[in-house]
Amino acid sequence: MGTLHKMIDPFLHAPSAMIRETATMVPDFGIRNLVRDGGEAFLTSEHGFLPIIDQIWGMYQMANNTEWYQRFLEQQGEYGTYNRDSVNDNVVRIEDTIDEKVNPLKNF
């Protein structure tokens, strides 16, 4: 990680974290999120996802920390389509670009 990135990172993350937290604390966010996620899962599931029924079932599994939910976590199910490798590649690319802009003579 570049030195500049280490210095700037905490300042850039604080406002976005605050916005993210306050946006998700609004009660209607949860309802909209359930409807959106349920609809998306219904359309893309290869296993016959049923909105509302499967969402309640999943919440029950999560709330009771069942064996099924533990297997879900072990298989990194909570990340869904989150691709950490591509995110890490982008971070490295951005850091390299920042280092080149800030210190153009670095490679000489």
pLDDT tens figures, 6-50: 777 777 777 877 887 777 777 788 888 889 989 988 988 888 899
Write down the pTM of the prediction: 0.50
Q: Which of 17, 16, 6 is nearest to 98 (CA)?
A: 6
The residue ranges of every structural domain in the chain are 3-102
CA atoms within 13 A on the CB side of 37: 13
- What is the identity of the amino acid at 83? N
Cβ proximity of 2 and 95 under 8 Å: yes
- Could you tell me the pLDDT band of residue 61, with boundaries at 50, 70 and 90? very high
